[in-house]
Amino acid sequence: MSRSPNGLAPVGDDSCGEEESSPETASLFASGAPDFLSGVMPIETAFAIPQIKRMQERSKSKQAGRRPTNTLRETFLDELADIYDAEKQLIKALPKVAEAAEQEDLKRGFQQHLEETEEHVTRLERVFEIFGEEPKSRRCKAMKGLLEEGEEHIEDEDGDAALICAAQKIEHYEIASYGSLVSWARLLGEEDAADVLEETLDEEKATDEKLTSLAESVINVDESQQTTESEESE
């Protein structure tokens, strides 16, 4: 093999400066390389390019110490496990909340919502089944914090208005969770699951409206009692 007069790379040697291709890349292009002269890219190569990009993204994620982004299905199942745990926490807490309520209408409201919440758990199990998954819980820290706040109101005897406020915070959290799950289920093409979840979403919204109405009546009763006591003291 001849060398150039300056003693550098051999004349006509095209291997200088080329990097050895990885087995994955080599196999992807084994069926044909892009025909740059004709301007036509073989179909095998066209399908291979997205695979190369995915491999590059995974490599970058590993180098940066990041996990690959979850798919929508995985995100859906994670949130489903979260609200499943949240509902079961609520079932344990509602009897004590109902007992602490002073107004009879509010007591009945909490007792009725306990029955609805038990049905919500059953529906969530049905959604897991639709997705071909076993029901599982993921500890819901948000519900745990909301229930602890409600527990403080009970211990401090803050009254029905405070209990209603705590309950509505819980309803708003559930409405946000179920709203996302309904949208994601439809995007995933799981219309049956979306319909089941939407039924619960509608009930959560109705409960929130009932609590708003009860809050107004409770405040009016409290104000009336305070006025009567004030007049009697005079």
Residues 138 and 94 occupy one common structural domain: yes
Residues 164 and 118 occupy one common structural domain: yes
Does residue 16 lie within any of the structural domains? no
Q: What Cα–Cα distance (Å) separates residue 176 from each residue in 93, 106, 118?
A: 20, 24, 19
Residues 85 and 181 occupy one common structural domain: yes
Does residue 40 lie within any of the structural domains? yes
pLDDT confidence of residue 185: 97
pLDDT confidence of residue 161: 92
Residues 181 and 98 occupy one common structural domain: yes
Does residue 80 lie within any of the structural domains? yes
Residues 169 and 116 occupy one common structural domain: yes
Residue from 122, 218, 117 nearest 170 by CA: 117
CATH number at residue 136: 1.20.1260.10
- Domain count within the chain: 2
Does residue 104 lie within any of the structural domains? yes
pLDDT confidence of residue 217: 81
Residues 89 and 204 occupy one common structural domain: yes
User: 108 near 97, Cβ under 8 Å?
Assistant: no
Residues 213 and 149 occupy one common structural domain: yes
d(CA 59, CA 165): 48
Does residue 227 lie within any of the structural domains? no
Low-confidence ranges of the chain (pLDDT < 50): 2, 4-5, 7-9, 11-19, 24-31, 33-34, 36-37, 43-45, 228
- Give the domain extent around 110: 72-217
pLDDT confidence of residue 218: 75
pLDDT confidence of residue 189: 96
Residues 38 and 116 occupy one common structural domain: no
pLDDT confidence of residue 226: 54
Does residue 95 lie within any of the structural domains? yes
**Tally of CB atoms within 10 A around 219:** 14
178 token code pair: 């179920």
Residues 100 and 205 occupy one common structural domain: yes
Residues 77 and 190 occupy one common structural domain: yes
Does residue 172 lie within any of the structural domains? yes
Residues 111 and 143 occupy one common structural domain: yes
Does residue 222 lie within any of the structural domains? no
Secondary-structure percent of the chain, ordered helix, strand, coil, rounded to 5? 70, 0, 25
The pTM for the full model equals: 0.67
Q: pLDDT tens across 51-109, in order?
A: 556 656 665 655 555 555 579 999 999 999 999 999 999 999 999 999 999 999 999 99
